[in-house]
Structure 1
Amino acid sequence: MPRMSGLLDIIGSHPASRPALEGMGMLLGYGELCEQVKRKADSLRGLHARTGGVMAITMIDSPAWIVTQLGCLLAEVPLLPIPPFFTEAQRRHALQDAGAAWLLDDGQAAPVATGISPRPFPAGTSLITYTSGSTRTPKGVCLGADHLETVASSLVELLGAQAGKHRTLLPLAVLLENIAGVHVSLLAGACCHVAPVAQDGPSIWQALESSQATTCILVPEMLKRLLSVRKPLPHLRFAAVGGAKVAPALLEEAHARGIPVFEGYGLSEAGSVIAVNTPEASRRGSVGRLLPHVRLHPASDGEIMIEHPRMLGYLGAEGSGEAGCVPNPYPTGDLGRIDGDGFLYLTGRAKNVLITGFGRNVFPEWVESELLAEPAIAQAMVFGDGEAALMAVIVARSAAEAGRAVEQANLRLPDYARVGRWLLADEPFTPQNGQLTGTGRPKRDAIAARYQSRFPNEAKLTNETGDRRHGVL
């Protein structure tokens, strides 16, 4: 298995004239990429020697972004990518929390000093990525170069070092795209097309088709929008989808349409990908086999526990960076099981499990995936702990068809897991309004806080005779 501690050695071993990065009017062969990374590293070492601290990057996605990241890696300067979907408050929090002494934005020839004092962080930190979890204030996850290198190398081992072209669709500041997309491509000697992409279906399709991409990474909502275009992608050989629960019907539709989509699973604390289905080994309902380096097991209550590898720690955590500050094994918060052939199946989130008024356990992700399989429903969040029937907040593509869509989803669910009350959201769930993570997961606490009080008066419970009356805002 190749090691990325010799990342530039591996990049340098590819033919110098072979395309490595393209997009935004740039085309870099592997030889030129190495030279630019070395020059960038030399300039960054000088800055870092003066003040130390972390360097933040807020540039738009481009080959120059990748050059900067690789330069930081070579110069051993900790990097903080700021996702473009962060609110201004989250952006300020990340900069202060990480002690980002330097900031590189578009239009700047060199990083500028922020005036923020450096803060302590775990020894060996190479990259700081902020979780896009369910809380309003994201947490900084500190990851080491060896850890990230192992993940990318493991993916190359699993998927094979095939020539081709990867098209970035998620922001580069998202760890999944950064490691499983860009770094894997460079290790494998492939070309990576890097440029911002609008999130509507036609734009996603055009980005893949015009670049003749052979691989890409999607979140479920992007896949759903891509399928709405109903045009072929003859060059595409492998599309990974993850970041949130994927409805089986969505995967089946993609495969029926000739789009090679494979579900995977991971989390920031594990350096992104843990498991993924592949064209050679795929099983319906699973998130794939574990990557070669991953060691995990389900606990007695079903929670997935990671033994190796794990993050270095969270920023600001007491004792961060000291031995034992990260639990071993690490509790992911996800529930699942592994079958006899090594495929991992997820059943829900430990903290999200709902216990209905009748004592039945329901994982909201399961119900939401069935709702999202309906074309009329764009987004959904289910709650109802302790209630006689589950409730849902729905973002509909067609308000007129939303009721029928809920009914169809309910037909695929057992009685105790059916949605009894629902209402239409005032607006879509987005990172900007604090109701969606950057990888497409609903922020449950924020959505529930906004809508839960409306249910008693503005939504009607499905009655026992089957007369369904739905409240619509």
Structure 2
Amino acid sequence: MMNKILTAIAQHAAATPDKIALTSQTTQGNVQLTYAQLATQIEVLAAWLHEQPISRAGLWGENSIEWIVADLAAWKAGITLVPLPRFFSRTQLQHVIAQAQLPCLLVCGDIEQVTDIEERKTSPVAAIYLDKFVVHEQVAHDNSTELDTVAKITFTSGTTGTPKGVCLSTAALENVALALAERIYSGVNTDNLNTHLNLLPLSTLLENVAGVYVPLYLGKRVVVLAGSALGLTGSSQLSLPILLQMLHHYQPNSLIVLPQILQGFVAASAKGFTLPASLEFIAVGGARTPASLIEQARAMSIPVYEGYGLSECASVVSLNSPVADKIGSVGKALGHVDIKIDNGSIMVRGNVFSGYLGQETLSNDEWLDSGDLGFIDDDGFIFITGRKKNLLISSFGRNISPEWIEAELSLCRSIAQVMVIGDSQPFCSAIIVPASAQITAEQIIRDIHSINQHLPDYARIQKIIFATEPFTPSNQLLTDNGRLRRAAILGQYLNAIAAIYSNATAQSFSSQQHPGVVYDIF
């Protein structure tokens, strides 16, 4: 079956061979690849991979031109590819390698090894290597998805520490890319959407599909830079001055951001640091985004649109756009999927994954329970109210979505991260990661008190605990896409939480933070 993304790249290479497809930055300066050069490198690397031969491989590297070439060449060669997130722990990476039974790894650039290798082969494309693994323990796959129909396996750690492989076909990936192209580019002047800059890791399905496949399918330019060059390190560290400088340098027309990055843009704009006027479309997703944050961004002429997706549906399933937009919603369903509400749960059909690695194959006609709660209004816009499994039920019988309160608290500049607790308890409390070491307990308590004024009494935060460390993927307190691992955080702060809901008196007010100590909100 013809691959629509690769076919489009080949057509662009024939029609506009000198048009720039990819731009990057090395120690020697800017590097550019035309569509003709990109098509050639894909052909050469795919042919070489055929000769190896291999049926599946991992992909390891920083965001780079080489990463994109390796991804597309493996697709052309019919290899099941497993991108390995750079922010996974070594234990998680070893699990993925064993679970996916990877015999080898495509390595992009000169970076550290994931595990012991038996042999390294140099590919015909510069800075792309093939590492053959030392034989490792294999995992038996009973009733498993047929890997010969799977183009990509994306591993998501979800809310537990063990990554789970989501198997996706070529058709599933293409469907999302084409639906996004239609939704985004039908509502704006396409002449003003020529350059997309990758901010999120390419191992993240959202950036891989929406930030690479979509613009290349349409013959646009992709700027791909290592996270460190953009001021992004790990999965949650951000240097806003560096990021703003690079945005002004490359003048992109579109970006994909997480709510934390959008909040940084708004804060910077409020202080007079402007975003480049070239930006026409910024998609925000990955976690709940407060409507008030979208409103603040729009008031500062930041063209942001919220969307929603699932790895199990090959990423995006709904998106706001300039021609169909409602703040507070995650937009209308894309044309390739059906969405309905069943007892408050959001159900999706039409582009469902092939199944989890090692489990039975799923039918594309089945309704998939997203695990999210929400509703669809009379205009067809989808609203997310929280995760089904995260719902807190107070001792007074109130159903409370912690994500709702967390989204409001995340607007406080004194707070970097927050998790709301209170299941089966008379009131809500929060575990807080301050925005910096200089933030005082007094500032945070004042900010929370201000937010509380706009919340119903049952949702107000009455006590807080200062976290002993930030929530990150490396300490297993955050998922790869920035969601809280609630069970792990609850376990880590078990004693402090017990103190909150016991008869023990909370600490007297102090302007200093004391990690693990309980404070009352006055």
Scaled to the shorter chain, the TM-score interval is: over 0.9
Q: CA deviation at 1:64?
A: 0.9
1:32 corresponds in structure 2 to: 37
Would the alpha carbon gap of residues 453 and 10 (structure 1) be closer, same or farther in structure 2, given more than 3 Å must change?
same
**Amino acid of the structure 1 residue aligned with 2:131:** V
**Amino acid of the structure 1 residue aligned with 2:440:** A
Q: CA deviation at 1:252?
A: 1.6
Would the alpha carbon gap of residues 335 and 383 (structure 1) be closer, same or farther in structure 2, given more than 3 Å must change?
same
Match of 2:56 among 42, 54, 57: 54
Q: Residues 45-74 of structure 1: CA distance to partner in whole angstroms, max 9, x if unpaired?
A: 122x3xx44210111110111011000111
Q: Does 1:328 align with 2:369?
A: no
Q: Residues 117-157 of structure 1: CA distance to partner in whole angstroms, max 9, x if unpaired?
A: 59755231110101131011010100001100010000001
Match of 1:287 among 330, 334, 337: 330
- SS of corresponding position for 1:26: strand
Would the alpha carbon gap of residues 287 and 29 (structure 1) be closer, same or farther in structure 2, given more than 3 Å must change?
same
Q: CA deviation at 1:225?
A: 2.3
Of residues 203-212 and 341-350 in structure 1, the stretch that sits farther from structure 2 once superposed is 203-212
Q: CA deviation at 1:420?
A: 1.5
Would the alpha carbon gap of residues 157 and 21 (structure 1) be closer, same or farther in structure 2, given more than 3 Å must change?
same
**Preserved contact between residue 382 and residue 393 of structure 1 (Cα < 8 Å):** yes
1:399 corresponds in structure 2 to: 440
Q: CA deviation at 1:40?
A: 0.9
Q: Does 1:310 align with 2:311?
A: no
Of residues 127-136 and 170-179 in structure 1, the stretch that sits farther from structure 2 once superposed is 127-136
Would the alpha carbon gap of residues 457 and 170 (structure 1) be closer, same or farther in structure 2, given more than 3 Å must change?
same
Match runs of 1:90-239 below 5 Å: 90-105=92-107, 106-107=109-110, 109=122, 110-114=129-133, 115-116=135-136, 122-123=145-146, 124-160=149-185, 162=190, 163-197=193-227, 198=232, 199-230=238-269, 231-233=273-275, 234-239=277-282
Q: Does 1:251 align with 2:294?
A: yes
Q: CA deviation at 1:468?
A: 8.5
Of residues 411-420 and 156-165 in structure 1, the stretch that sits farther from structure 2 once superposed is 156-165
- The whole-number CA distance in structure 1 between the counterparts of 2:504 and 2:306 is 34
Of residues 220-229 and 281-290 in structure 1, the stretch that sits farther from structure 2 once superposed is 220-229
Would the alpha carbon gap of residues 210 and 462 (structure 1) be closer, same or farther in structure 2, given more than 3 Å must change?
farther
- The whole-number CA distance in structure 2 between the counterparts of 1:207 and 1:272 is 27
**Amino acid of the structure 1 residue aligned with 2:70:** T
Of residues 119-128 and 276-285 in structure 1, the stretch that sits farther from structure 2 once superposed is 119-128
Moved runs in structure 1, 4+ residues, more than 3 A?
Answer: 116-121, 456-463, 467-472
- SS of corresponding position for 2:151: strand
1:87 corresponds in structure 2 to: 89
Q: How many aligned positions are there?
A: 460
Q: CA deviation at 1:232?
A: 1.6
**Preserved contact between residue 98 and residue 119 of structure 1 (Cα < 8 Å):** no
Identical pairs, percent = 37
- SS of corresponding position for 2:465: strand
2:490 corresponds in structure 1 to: 448
- SS of corresponding position for 2:307: strand
Would the alpha carbon gap of residues 4 and 432 (structure 1) be closer, same or farther in structure 2, given more than 3 Å must change?
farther
**Amino acid of the structure 1 residue aligned with 2:475:** N
Q: CA deviation at 1:194?
A: 0.5
- The whole-number CA distance in structure 2 between the counterparts of 1:5 and 1:295 is 24
Q: CA deviation at 1:431?
A: 0.8
- The whole-number CA distance in structure 2 between the counterparts of 1:148 and 1:429 is 31
1:412 corresponds in structure 2 to: 454
- The whole-number CA distance in structure 2 between the counterparts of 1:113 and 1:46 is 14
- The whole-number CA distance in structure 2 between the counterparts of 1:168 and 1:460 is 48
- The whole-number CA distance in structure 2 between the counterparts of 1:211 and 1:427 is 35
Would the alpha carbon gap of residues 187 and 126 (structure 1) be closer, same or farther in structure 2, given more than 3 Å must change?
same
- The whole-number CA distance in structure 2 between the counterparts of 1:220 and 1:255 is 14
**Amino acid of the structure 2 residue aligned with 1:11:** I
Match of 1:261 among 298, 304, 308: 304
2:519 corresponds in structure 1 to: none
**Preserved contact between residue 232 and residue 258 of structure 1 (Cα < 8 Å):** no
Q: CA deviation at 1:458?
A: 6.3
Q: Residues 429-458 of structure 1: CA distance to partner in whole angstroms, max 9, x if unpaired?
A: 111111112222111111111113213436
**Amino acid of the structure 2 residue aligned with 1:7:** I
- The whole-number CA distance in structure 2 between the counterparts of 1:388 and 1:171 is 41
Q: Does 1:434 align with 2:476?
A: yes
Give the TM-score normalised by the residue count of structure 1: 0.92
**Preserved contact between residue 127 and residue 142 of structure 1 (Cα < 8 Å):** yes
**Amino acid of the structure 1 residue aligned with 2:200:** L
Q: CA deviation at 1:461?
A: 9.4
- The whole-number CA distance in structure 1 between the counterparts of 2:242 and 2:312 is 31
Q: Residues 351-380 of structure 1: CA distance to partner in whole angstroms, max 9, x if unpaired?
A: 111100100000000000110011111111
- The whole-number CA distance in structure 2 between the counterparts of 1:457 and 1:244 is 30
- The whole-number CA distance in structure 1 between the counterparts of 2:372 and 2:415 is 25
The runs of 5 or more residues in structure 1 that have no matched partner are: none
Q: Residues 204-223 of structure 1: CA distance to partner in whole angstroms, max 9, x if unpaired?
A: 22232211111010111122
Q: Does 1:23 align with 2:24?
A: yes
